[in-house]
Amino acid sequence: MRELVLYCPGEQADSVTDALLEAGALCASVEDADLDTPEEQPIFGEPGSEASPQGWQTNRVLALLADGVDPQQVMLQAQQQLSFDLDTTWQVREVPDEDWVRLTQSQFGPIPVGNRLLIVPSWHQEDLPVTDRITLALDPGLAFGTGSHPTTHVCLRWLTSELPANATVLDYGCGSGILAIAARRLGAGDTWAIDIDEQAVESTEYNATVNQVTLNAGLTDALPDGQFDVVVANILSNPLKVLAPMLSQRVKPGGSLVLSGVLERQAEEVAVFYQPWIALTVWQALDGWVCLAGQRPSEQAS
């Protein structure tokens, strides 16, 4: 395969990549042309914040071409779709043949969590050594949550060490379903996995079947009235603040609330939103992220 390389200003990047794809490129990506130089321009904020709509000041556009495709013809067709002139100094470079599936899979190995859990991608299951850990089979997919991200990992740590036996659990913003599935494998009772994204619900149902656990997965309107012994939400600080009244009221008196997706510098601010119902403190921190946890007072009215 070959890769077409050209440059454009930030405001043109989306149009250029769209035009290249329409002209026959297999895929197209954009990167900072000044990457790894003193002029490198960071444009993305923290998770949950909006990125600059203009991209970098100078963008390097990379378009992958199948063997036999004429790059000059691709450029001519792309130019016809645009109201501005494309870079005339474009280049083509060879891309070595790779087993891209195997290369991608090699980045995801088994992930131990505490001393009880092991997250195992399906392609590692056959060569997995004998272990007394509880194993969860989970493949990286379209829904967030593989155990590799610190926010997911620290929530799993809480479940491995703090989850009461037979506890009822609500995983709000379930993504891949990893937290709900782990809770069930660790001895939880009735468990609900809820998300606003239908694709996440489908991913959760699939992963639950693979791991031979039974749970209730659905969109937000499928969640029935009631409270839970443990409510866990691994999302982001802004939605966590908005959801504070609802999530708090879903915790039984004496039950636990566990939140992640929060940067260390955001912990105090997020905790303030929950203070009327539950006093949250940092349970653990990992790579700049924290897990907030607290118990709802037993005498507190529902």
CATH of the domain at 230: 3.40.50.150
* Short-list 37, 84, 28, CA closest to 60: 28
The answer on 152 and 92 residing in a single domain is: no
Residue appearing with tokens 């002209």: 23
The pLDDT tens digits for 186-233 are: 999 999 999 999 989 998 999 999 899 999 999 999 999 999 999 999
The pLDDT tens digits for 5-54 are: 999 988 888 899 999 999 999 888 888 877 666 665 554 444 444 444 45
For residues 172 and 187, give the distance between their C-alpha atoms in angstroms, rounded to a whole number.
19
Asked if the structure places residue 189 within a domain, the reply is: yes
Which DSSP string do the residues of 162-215 spell out, in sequence order?
A: HPPTT--EEEES-TTSHHHHHHHHTT--SEEEEES-HHHHHHHHHHHHHTT---
Strand pairing of 2-9 and 58-65? antiparallel
Q: What range defines the domain where residue 217 resides?
A: 148-295
The answer on 167 and 47 residing in a single domain is: no
The answer on 155 and 81 residing in a single domain is: no
Residue-level pLDDT at 223: 95
Strand pairing of 27-32 and 58-65? antiparallel
The pLDDT tens digits for 47-56 are: 444 444 456 7
| CA terminus-to-terminus distance, the chain | 62
CATH of the domain at 8: 3.30.70
For residue 107, pLDDT beyond 70 = no
Asked if the structure places residue 137 within a domain, the reply is: no
The answer on 159 and 88 residing in a single domain is: no
The residues with which 13 forms a beta bridge, in sequence order, are none
For residues 258 and 233, give the distance between their C-alpha atoms in angstroms, rounded to a whole number.
6
For residue 79, pLDDT beyond 70 = yes
Asked if the structure places residue 115 within a domain, the reply is: no
Q: How many domains does the chain have?
A: 2
Mean pLDDT of the chain: 85
**Which of 60, 78, 97 is where one domain is finished?**
97
* Cβ–Cβ < 8 Å for 13, 51: no
Confidence of residue 142 (pLDDT cuts 50, 70, 90): very low
| Tokens coding 253 | 């008196």
Angle, helix 178-185 to helix 150-162, in steps of 10 degrees: 20
Handedness of CA 168, 170, 176, 178 (dihedral sign): negative
The answer on 249 and 160 residing in a single domain is: yes
For residues 183 and 198, give the distance between their C-alpha atoms in angstroms, rounded to a whole number.
21
Residue-level pLDDT at 125: 58
The answer on 258 and 156 residing in a single domain is: yes
Asked if the structure places residue 112 within a domain, the reply is: no
Confidence of residue 143 (pLDDT cuts 50, 70, 90): very low
Which amino acid is present at 43? I
Asked if the structure places residue 180 within a domain, the reply is: yes
pTM: 0.66
For residue 67, pLDDT beyond 70 = yes
